[in-house]
Structure 1
């Protein structure tokens, strides 16, 4: 893929169909504050790009494409490679580690210290008798653990992935919560006495949920193995059977993140269950391959979802804790990948220290992000130009601008794919000014499931739509269809009248085939963060323009605490923020309407908001619409 030179005057194409590879990185350490890189040696590579340092001290810098052999631990010898091969073709682990093939007694070899605390509020709700997910309560006794009666996707993931164990552990001393954990586990095992022959036989036996369940069982084992002996033996057998099931079925995962979770669980079982060395060697190779297929060269997961980005980091952090519990060093790939994953995530942090609402995600709050980053051990700053992941970040004094300058994820990667190309979000001094609705991945809590597709639509984002149509088709079950396939993006610094600004210019072809028009958006943010100038252009996509007109709408979804009033002439609006600051919005060429909207908050709950809408008819020959957002006083 061609790489952009930021000072270039020529935009560079982002092609949805181009392959993406992971770069290999070499290493050392630095400390970072907001927007400032601090390094003992000034930590820059030969091309001037900043270093990123993983927890093990490995330096992350742009480099060559990565091959599987680059991640092979140096201590793996010929004998161990043969063990891995034998296990892969079905030779039992006990025969590969014991001359007589005698099975070791089934037990847990070590106790893992969980690196990521759960949600105390959700754990308290469990102690009160119900699951609390994105604000919605479901009584424990009313859950169908067999999965015959389908429940909402968020509840399925929590119940069958056993992520609630961390929440329960965070809510009270172990002695108080162990009986609750054992009761739910016993009910679940009664409903699921043995694994099915194939994956996907109900929500309990997708590869993603199964991998998360096994990993959580192993990491939080004291909660479910501290009670009576029959249940302890039953739980251990379930762990062993689940690991064997994943051995056979991990390749049938529903998507890349689910496969990564499956491999991580198999590795953890190889570390913590007897006769596990062959399983561990086999699974480490699968884990490394899955990482290479999940993550782009700049460290962003190919689903482009910040939720998936956090899930991938959390999986590797928990897996690393399993290595530490057994006094082993994880493969270099694990530390390297953790170091790659953190900087892109930080690119989507706003001035309130919470995440932006992108690709199904919601405004995950500061404490959750900080806890994850601290557990990763990575010290870095946000990437401003995440080329492969597709998000541009501009930090201007106390203002942060986030811009989606890439196509939606490819269908095979999309989890909650959104038609958000050329949308932006903006925050200032801890206040959100312009947002996207977000929250499709939280649908099934207080966000109704029926709203999921609407929250993934172009109209749910702060960008332009034509004829109320999505720039990329939004399909059911999180899938994405045809639409935007190429995006041109140019980023440069401009000087004018003694002041400087960052200029972003991007265009997409999502409306070219249907309406013969290309959408181009220009954003110019002053370096003092007080003024954002924008222009949305519709340009003929071919030399022969189509006749007639088409309806357009340019939407600016407002933050949850913004008070808005329209001007008398209908071409301006005043925005008052809770901190007392006042912003003016002015548009040229069309009137401004004020409509209802919603925004999904840090707990995955819907909040009623408003949106400014510029709308009208535009010629098939094209048109342009300028607007200004400026801080007054």
Structure 2
């Protein structure tokens, strides 16, 4: 029955994809290019702000014909970058998205402005009507937002002919988005397209007849995609960052133009801001759940500056499916949700009941996160259950992803089967916070329900956990389990008491002891994929057992040494979480040996599995 259900989902996906591609061809294909284009707007009224951080050092490279995008360097040798073939698709998406205009603008030079105009003119001349990647909806969305935000820089010192062609091309791209938004990939891409259309209606003159339509569509997408607790329907924390980075400038443009803010827009921002705090550890990094990789700290800090309330992070996000436990300076974040809907599960992970644990500025237990490299093999690894700090049965994932060829090439790799029941109980009292949850992702194959009970003490010095494996039926298969705790690369780990416990030492001298009485405990190599410098070698603690012989595993983290404190400012972007204290290294050299064991920044571990 389960296999038949999965096949049914695949065929429904395939039929929907075929219909969507047909409509996209009708609305945005050759017929779109052949239709007469309406008149261009007479002028631009306002330029929405670009919240993302610029790097002016890239301006010199771009002027010299060196384009480093998505980890790929292309030298043009005097040619236009839009005429060079054979380049990586990710490089082309970033090139055609024009987000790099912010780097040229940051250079604040006349030459950078001339270079920007020349490149925009090249695109209009070479790719203005068609390009296999340049006219993908997400690329058009990003280009429209970039052109609008940096239009004063692009148009400054430009002649009237360039101004007219720029507006005509911009209007054509916005019209393309209006025609194809229904065929856009559901989720963040569709919402960002709606934001780009709304931004254009506010920014360009003569768009009154489209304004109501665009605002209504934006309201629909915000209502549908932003959940009651402020999370996104994809359950990806990164989605909140990306949406707010575009939504906040659009909101400011509405205010600057004296327009009434749609109620849904205001409500969505008010809901998402607390969720920004919800997913953050003490050091400001976001927890690695369902597609979240390294945290763009500069962008997060900019977005948080728009939060007027600056309240405490909520503890419960039941609609998005997460729990947050806090005690003292300790934070535990737990994934307690079902996989997202099929259409928005392309980046979802099989990490049900996984958790991350931090103390102050030290992240201790993490998930492996997402690789910054465009590599399908690493993407599969990062989405698997063993890459998360939770339990696995027979090294299999609690979710099944679409990988069959040729369907996977057309439909991506959404979740086609996974936990359908994830009951959660939470209890807060004077002694701490307790969260109990379970999932049935292993019932079909192994007849087992995984249950996890976590309790964090009120002072944050003790985290107790119990993992249970409840037999629902006998499938006739073995039930070997592994309960994993992936450690952050900055944590030094070593066995204690003859291998029955593990000592965990943080960079600042804070120490924790991990104990799992009566269980087979191992220290093994792991990999941290979400480091800003690349893949990092790290360790994981693993408890092995058999569900028929030992159905319950108890474990505990207990703080055994505190860090030395000094009164000075916390790092940028973590003021809200860390207050006015920052941890510093002890004056003695007890940590030197640990430093020698750490991989260097940027060390490549990509050939490890």
TM range, smaller chain:
0.7 to 0.9
Shift of 1:396: 0.8
Which residue pairs with 2:456 in the alignment?
Answer: 525
Equivalent residues in 2 for 1:107-118 (5 A)? 107-112=42-47, 114=49, 116-118=51-53
Structure 2 equivalent of residue 627 of structure 1: 555
Q: Tell me what 2:14 maps to.
A: none
- Given the alignment, which residue of 449, 461, 473 partners 2:400? 473
Matched pairs, number: 514
Which of these residues, 524, 546, 562, is aligned with residue 595 of structure 1?
524
RMSD (Å), alpha carbons: 2.7
Cα displacement (A) at 1:285:
0.8
In the superposition, relative to structure 1, how do residues 243 and 604 fare at CA in structure 2: closer, same or farther (>3 Å)?
farther
Change (3 A) 1:126 1:144: closer
Whether the aligned pair in 2 keeps the contact of 1:383 and 1:393 (CA below 8 Å) is yes
- CA drift of 1:252 comes to 0.9
Asked if residue 151 in structure 1 is aligned to residue 88 in structure 2, the reply is yes
Partner in structure 2 of residue 74 of structure 1: none
Distance 2:81 2:544 in 1: 47
Instruction: Note the C-alpha offset of 1:488.
Output: 0.8
User: Which of 131, 134, 155 is the matching residue for 1:204?
Assistant: 134
Residues 390, 405 of structure 1: 8 Å contact kept: yes
CA distance in 1, matches of 2:327, 2:93: 39
Equivalences for residues 6-21 of structure 1 within 5 A: none
Q: Render the CA deviation track for 1:163-213: whole Å, top value 9, x for unaligned.
A: 2223433x3215353233234323433441215xxxxx7332232222221
Matches within 5 A, 1:44-55: none
Residue 56 of structure 1 corresponds to which residue in structure 2?
Answer: none
Q: Tell me, in whole angstroms, the C-alpha distance in 1 between the residues paired with 2:107 and 2:451.
A: 54
Q: Is the 8 A contact 2:326 2:433 kept in 1?
A: no
CA contact (8 A) 1:587 1:625 kept: yes
Structure 2: gaps spanning 5 or more residues: 1-8, 10-37, 404-411, 562-609
8 Å contact 1:517–1:622 — kept in the other structure?
A: no
In 2, the alpha carbon distance for the partners of 1:400 and 1:571 equals 25
CA deviation digits over 1:287-329, x for unaligned, max 9?
1111122111211110011111111111211212332443323
Whole-angstrom CA distance in 2 between matches of 1:623 and 1:494: 28
1:164 aligns with 2:100: yes
Task: Map 1:458-469 onto structure 2 (within 5 A).
Answer: 458-469=385-396
The 1:116/1:518 distance shift into structure 2, 3 A limit, reads: same
1:514 equivalent in structure 2: 445
Deviation string 1:20-48 (CA, Å, 9 cap, x unpaired) is: xxxxxxxxxxxxxxxxxxxxxxxxxxxxx
Q: 2: CA distance between counterparts of 1:403 and 1:147? A: 46
- Relative to the length of structure 1, the TM-score reads 0.75
User: Would the aligned equivalents of 2:503 and 2:511 in 1 still touch at CA under 8 Å?
Assistant: yes
2:479 paired with 1:550? yes
Unaligned runs of 5+ in 1: 1-16, 18-102, 196-200
In structure 1, how many angstroms separate the alpha carbons of the residues matched to 2:141 and 2:492?
A: 45
Structure in which a larger fraction of residues adopt helix: 2
Is 1:563 the counterpart of 2:492? The answer is yes
CA distance in 2, matches of 1:589, 1:187: 68
Structure-2 residue corresponding to 1:605: 534
Distance (Å, rounded) in 1 between the aligned partners of 2:456 and 2:282: 15
Distance 1:381 1:362 in 2: 24
How much has 1:365 moved relative to structure 2? 4.8
Contact 2:41 2:206 survives alignment (8 Å)? no
Contact between 1:583 and 1:630, CA under 8 Å: does it hold in 2? yes
1:454 to 355, 367, 381: 381
Q: Which residue of 1 aligns with 2:24?
A: none
- Superposition pairs of residues 285-304 of structure 1, within 5 angstroms: 285-304=216-235
What residue in structure 2 maps to residue 333 of structure 1? 264
Matches within 5 A, 1:70-85: none
CA distance in 1, matches of 2:65, 2:333: 41
**Structure number with higher relative contact order (C-alpha < 8 Å, ≥ 6 residues apart):** 1
- Tell me by how many angstroms 1:494 deviates: 5.0
- Select which of 130, 151, 155 maps to 1:221: 151
| Structure 1 counterpart SS, 2:341 | coil
Report the Cα distance in structure 2 between the residues aligned to 1:491 and 1:182, rounded to whole angstroms: 57
Cross-structure match for 1:367: 298
- Partners of 1:550 and 1:556 lie apart in 2 by 19
Change (3 A) 1:246 1:105: closer
Tell me how far apart the structure 1 counterparts of residues 307 and 533 of structure 2 sit (CA, whole Å): 24
Measure how far apart 1:517 and its partner are: 0.2
Instruction: Give the deviation of 1:214 after TM superposition.
Output: 1.0
Deviation at 1:401, TM superposition (A): 0.7
Cα shift at 1:130: 4.3
Distance in 1 (alpha carbons) for counterparts of 2:58 and 2:313: 32
Aligned to 2:471: 540
The answer as to whether partners of 1:255 and 1:412 remain within 8 angstroms in 2 is: yes
Q: TM-score, normalised by structure 2?
A: 0.78
Distance of aligned partners of 1:262 and 1:113 in 2 relative to their CA distance in 1, 3 Å threshold? closer
How far apart, in 1, do the equivalents of 2:490 and 2:190 lie? 40
Mapped contact 1:148–1:202 kept (Cα < 8 A): no
